[in-house]
């Protein structure tokens, strides 16, 4: 496989798929430019080599050309961060884009308009009538798949090589994230630096495991994490199931959980997961006590209770001190750690103790040589909120993509670069 470090971009044009899907306020100011900064090492390396870049990205979920989602709003900031005057093409596949891409000189950059202004990027039909028949839906799908080929070919035609640095969309088989790779041979397609780091981190927790391996899965619902839990049961030594999911397990075992969050229809599933853990020799770690509240609010009255003896009008909003000790002990003895999801309602200041303690235990284990990966939405918010991000081995930037990777799914954005099947 080609690597960005070994590739000399001098005199070459690179199509770089980035994830510039940044949040904007009502005046189109970028409120968090982390994703743009994350792609800078890749873009700068290409320009420094004497190459030029054609940058492709999506922004938001437009259903057609929409000013609100135009990448022109971020052009100035990208130019400032990159340190070059980035040009802009108002239409990613129009004549202007072709002319500007062809005229690019070494060290120059061109940002294409939002790729998702075209249905072909995602390959999903748009504008179908609500009462469309199955036949009509099928025909529309076929049509967009056909035109997607032309769209992809057009994007590929701008460049000599393809670099994918958009881990956030690696789980999508879109034109610019996967299909485009077919237009370049193995020597001319590669991961960008960000993508390379993400892929390595995922590899380390999924395939190159130093034991003991502990996964901490939090979050509100078991139903949204079933596939991940099932896949992890084949990999981990310890599985801490925490957060709102706790109470479905406790209730399934006959405990009293008051008005804590619970998925009544998943009680059997919880028991089944416990059985599977036992069969596979996985140490399933559940909470023994909870910080309970008389209302779902930061200002609620609080107390501690055994997790299976929560009074009727109370609910568990975080783990209690005994559980913190148990979790911390398991985590500190681990050599590979994966954390996804808080132990409680960490958005409320009074229910952050458990998540903070988990983060701190991970930092300590990391200091002692463990590899720790934090990712998938809320746990990233947790480590940032508690100022612990620099103490863990890797904080993933890809929410959905990371979750699919730990579910064991093939990510099209990765497979396409490796030349492996993904459909």
List residues binding ligand AMP (CB under 6 A): 219-221, 224, 243-244, 261, 316-317, 341-342, 344-345, 347, 377-378
Tell me how far, at minimum, the Cβ of 172 lies from ligand AMP, in Å.
Answer: 20
- Catalytic: 399? no
Q: Which is nearer to ligand AMP, 173 or 403 (CB)?
A: 403
- Catalytic: 98? no
- Catalytic: 400? yes
Tell me how far, at minimum, the Cβ of 219 lies from ligand AMP, in Å.
Answer: 3
Q: Which is nearer to ligand AMP, 243 or 320 (CB)?
A: 243
Exactly one of 255, 377, 399, 408 is catalytic; name it: 377
CB 89 within 8 A of CB 34: no
Q: Roughly what angle, to the nearest 10 degrees, separates helices 353-367 and 321-332?
A: 20
Exactly one of 12, 13, 17, 35 is catalytic; name it: 35
Task: Please identify the residue of the shown chain whose CB is closest to the bound ligand AMP.
Answer: 219
What are the φ and ψ backbone dihedral angles of 16, each rounded to 5 degrees?
Answer: -110, 115
Tell me how far, at minimum, the Cβ of 342 lies from ligand AMP, in Å.
Answer: 5
How far apart CA 35 and CA 220 sit, in angstroms, is 26
Contact partners, residue 222, CB within 8 Å, separation at least 6: 229, 245, 248, 249, 263, 266, 269, 270, 273
How far apart CA 370 and CA 351 sit, in angstroms, is 27
- Catalytic: 255? no
Q: Which is nearer to ligand AMP, 163 or 361 (CB)?
A: 361
Tell me how far, at minimum, the Cβ of 217 lies from ligand AMP, in Å.
Answer: 9
How far apart CA 253 and CA 268 sit, in angstroms, is 10
Tokens of 192: 């960008």
CB 89 within 8 A of CB 112: yes
Burial annotation 187-221 (CB, 10 A radius, 16+ → b, else e): ebbbbbbbbbbbbebbebbbeebeebbbbbbbbbe
How far apart CA 218 and CA 285 sit, in angstroms, is 12
Cis bond upstream, residue 325 (ω within 30): no
Tell me how far, at minimum, the Cβ of 317 lies from ligand AMP, in Å.
Answer: 5
Exactly one of 98, 107, 400, 408 is catalytic; name it: 400
Q: Which is nearer to ligand AMP, 85 or 347 (CB)?
A: 347
Q: Which is nearer to ligand AMP, 98 or 377 (CB)?
A: 377
Exactly one of 153, 221, 309, 332 is catalytic; name it: 221
Q: Which residues are catalytic?
A: 35, 221, 377, 400
């Amino acid at each position: 496989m080609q690597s960005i470090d070994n590739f000399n971009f001098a005199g070459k044009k690179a199509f770089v798929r980035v994830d510039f899907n940044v949040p904007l306020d009502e005046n189109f100011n970028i409120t968090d430019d982390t994703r743009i900064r994350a792609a800078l090492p890749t873009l700068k390396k290409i320009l420094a080599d004497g190459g030029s870049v054609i940058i492709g990205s999506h922004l938001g979920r437009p259903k057609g050309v929409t000013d609100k989602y135009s990448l022109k709003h971020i052009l100035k900031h990208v130019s400032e961060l990159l340190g070059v005057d980035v040009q802009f093409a108002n239409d990613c596949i129009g004549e202007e884009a072709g002319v500007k891409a062809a005229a690019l000189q070494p060290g120059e950059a061109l940002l294409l308009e939002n790729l998702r202004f075209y249905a072909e990027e995602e390959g999903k039909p748009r504008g179908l009538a609500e009462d469309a028949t199955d036949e009509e839906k099928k025909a529309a799908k076929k049509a967009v798949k056909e035109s997607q080929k032309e769209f992809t070919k057009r994007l590929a035609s701008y460049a000599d090589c393809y670099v994918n640095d958009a881990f956030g969309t690696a789980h999508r088989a879109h034109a610019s994230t996967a299909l485009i790779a077919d237009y370049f041979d193995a020597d001319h397609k590669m991961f960008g630096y960000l993508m390379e780091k993400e892929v390595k981190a995922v590899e380390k927790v999924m395939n190159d495991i130093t034991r003991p391996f502990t996964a901490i899965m939090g979050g509100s619902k078991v139903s949204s994490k079933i596939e991940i839990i099932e896949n992890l049961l084949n990999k981990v030594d310890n599985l801490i199931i925490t957060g709102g999911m706790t109470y479905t397990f406790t209730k399934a075992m006959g405990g009293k959980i008051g008005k804590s969050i619970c998925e009544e229809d998943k009680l059997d599933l919880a028991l089944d997961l416990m059985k599977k853990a036992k069969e596979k020799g996985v140490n399933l770690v559940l909470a023994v006590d909870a910080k309970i509240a008389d209302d779902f609010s930061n200002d609620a009255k609080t107390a501690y209770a055994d997790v299976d003896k929560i009074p009727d009008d109370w609910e568990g909003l975080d783990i209690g001190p005994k559980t913190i000790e148990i979790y911390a002990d398991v985590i500190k003895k681990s050599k590979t750690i994966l954390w996804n999801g808080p132990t409680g309602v960490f958005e409320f200041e009074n229910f952050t103790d458990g998540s903070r303690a988990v983060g701190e235990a991970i930092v300590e284990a990391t200091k002692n040589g463990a590899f720790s990966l934090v990712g998938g939405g809320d746990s990233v918010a947790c480590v940032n909120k508690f100022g612990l991000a620099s103490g863990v081995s890797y904080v993933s930037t890809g929410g959905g993509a990371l979750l699919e990777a730990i579910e064991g799914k093939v990510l099209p954005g990765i497979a396409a670069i490796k030349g492996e099947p993904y459909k």
